[in-house]
Structure 1
Amino acid sequence: MSAKPTNKRVYTVDLMRFSAIVLMVIFHFIYDLKFFGWVPSEIPDGAGWREFRYVILTLFFLCVGFSLAAVHGGKFKKKHFVKRLIQLILASAAVTLSSLIMAPQNWIFFGVLHFIAVASLLCVGFSGFPKTALIVGIAIIVVYNLGWVSGVWPFQPIRHLLPGYTNDYVGLFPWTGVVLIGIWLAYQAWFLNDPAKSFPRSKIVLFASKHSLIIYLIHQPILFAIFGAISWSLSV
């Protein structure tokens, strides 16, 4: 059963986004421990870790789709969309620039924030059409898993200009499909009724959810600075 998207906060979405943030910090914490040589680990591409990352991305991108529908489902709000898009583009540029400085061999050319910016452009037109969004979203995931389209599309023609391995990559296939399913989710009465409505509201959850972009940008530099300082002090 479908309903109209709501502008009211759905605490379930806040919990989903908060969970993604916590899992992301854990993921990067372990990654950094491996980077500094303190623990043996197959993160980020070893068995289990890849799936761990998929859980994080799924939670984030369902929330992206939900937000697109909640904001633009009734009427496209150009000013809001452009402002958010500019924020994402600037944040993406910062990620790319910092990766070129810190890991020039594995610099990030299309990571999470790059993907969200492009997926927002591609998916906002579906924000008022939940059934179509669901069908197209499932189709994108299916054709990817059938091997009919590459996960590195549309970068194949310039692959020789890009790093052989990048520290963060999110393909338009299949992940755009998850954003579209998030749009569909924003119209489902059972979800808008807020499955987590009986949970006590946590100020920490709400704060993290509202400021997820800032947290995404600063948590890894903070972790690196802490671990770098510890590593330096141990070597003195």
Structure 2
Amino acid sequence: MSPKSASKRIYTVDLMRFLAIVLMVIFHFIYDLKFFGWVPSTIPDGAGWREFRYVILTLFFLCVGFSLAAVHASGFKQKHFIKRFIQLLLASGAVTISSLIMAPNNWIFFGVLHFIAIASLIAVPFSRFPNLALGLGLVIILAFNLNWVSSIWPFQPIRHLLPGYTNDYVGLFPWTGVVLIGIWLAYQGWFLQDPAHRFARSKTVLFASKHSLIIYLIHQPILFALFGLIGVIWQA
């Protein structure tokens, strides 16, 4: 079976993306509490919190790989890819600019959206070759875990120009490997049969899944505004 064999939307992917969104909002909610000084500084950077973030990233990036395969399995859709790529570049630029304004010492130079844009460029040629994508994905993850390559690659030459701590960083190693595994997942018959098809399709889940990029962009400004308002009222 191939991604084009699926005649309807795979609800399992929507659920994965929705769960990632919910966990992301929870994570950023806790992070914002730290930013405003309302919880210890070890949250959400301490033990357990990093793993929580890894779950979020894994869900998101598996969905990215799946979507690349679903769209381009029958041939590269240039217009679709360019449109999506430009959207990601603009969104990434907005994230970087806003981080420079709100946290100039910890600004975001290569966060989630930056990564998705570049990883999509790297992974899309493999969208028709699931076994090759799986093999390369595993090699990338293995290379990282064996310390053959740094997570900061390829930024080492300009590392001195970048913040010592950034509020969001997603390395090409190992996370490009997860995107490639997502491509492989899109060709597995058991997955295309939609393991979650027995669940009633929630309009909330579908809406959030279809508009995940918008949600990603607006949820933090909303949370910051909310916490800022609470802080003003608390000090009044």
TM above 0.5: yes
Residue 106 of structure 1 aligns to a residue in which SS? Answer: coil
Cα distance in 1 for partners of 2:118, 2:36 equals: 33
- In structure 2, the partner of 1:219 is 219
Cα distance in 1 for partners of 2:43, 2:176 equals: 24
Cα distance in 1 for partners of 2:91, 2:21 equals: 17
Q: What 5-or-longer segments of structure 1 have no aligned partner?
A: none
Which stretches of structure 1, 4 residues or longer, exceed 3 Å deviation after superposition?
A: none
Cα distance in 1 for partners of 2:166, 2:35 equals: 15
- In structure 2, the partner of 1:174 is 174
**What per-residue deviation string (whole Å, max 9, x for no partner) do you get for residues 112-148 of structure 1?**
0000000000000000000000000000000000000
Contact in 1 for aligned 2:30/2:44 (Cα 8 Å): no
- In structure 2, the partner of 1:32 is 32
- In structure 2, the partner of 1:235 is 235
Contact in 1 for aligned 2:69/2:128 (Cα 8 Å): yes
**What per-residue deviation string (whole Å, max 9, x for no partner) do you get for residues 177-231 of structure 1?**
0000000000000000000000010000000000000000000000000000010
Question: What is the aligned length?
Answer: 234
- In structure 1, the partner of 2:3 is 5
Post-superposition offset of 1:41: 5.2
User: CA RMSD for the aligned pairs?
Assistant: 0.8
Cα distance in 2 for partners of 1:33, 1:164 equals: 21
Residues 1:74 and 2:78 are matched in the alignment? no
* Aligned amino acid, residue 21 of structure 1: I
Cα distance in 2 for partners of 1:41, 1:10 equals: 40
Cα distance in 2 for partners of 1:152, 1:170 equals: 9
Post-superposition offset of 1:44: 2.8
Contact in 1 for aligned 2:110/2:169 (Cα 8 Å): yes
**What per-residue deviation string (whole Å, max 9, x for no partner) do you get for residues 80-107 of structure 1?**
0000000000000000000000000000
Q: Percent identity?
A: 79
Residues 1:116 and 2:102 are matched in the alignment? no
Contact in 1 for aligned 2:186/2:192 (Cα 8 Å): yes
Taking the TM superposition and a 5 Å limit, the aligned residue runs for 1:153-192 are 153-192=153-192
Q: What 5-or-longer segments of structure 2 have no aligned partner?
A: none
* Aligned amino acid, residue 35 of structure 2: F
Report the TM-score when normalising by structure 1: 0.98
Post-superposition offset of 1:43: 2.4
Post-superposition offset of 1:39: 2.3
Contact in 1 for aligned 2:10/2:192 (Cα 8 Å): yes
Taking the TM superposition and a 5 Å limit, the aligned residue runs for 1:100-139 are 100-139=100-139
Report the TM-score when normalising by structure 2: 0.98
- In structure 2, the partner of 1:198 is 198
**What per-residue deviation string (whole Å, max 9, x for no partner) do you get for residues 18-37 of structure 1?**
00000000000111112112
Cα distance in 2 for partners of 1:154, 1:44 equals: 26
Post-superposition offset of 1:45: 1.8
Residue 168 of structure 1 aligns to a residue in which SS? Answer: coil
- In structure 2, the partner of 1:44 is 44
Residue 180 of structure 1 aligns to a residue in which SS? Answer: helix
Contact in 1 for aligned 2:123/2:179 (Cα 8 Å): yes
* Aligned amino acid, residue 214 of structure 1: I
Residue 105 of structure 2 aligns to a residue in which SS? Answer: helix
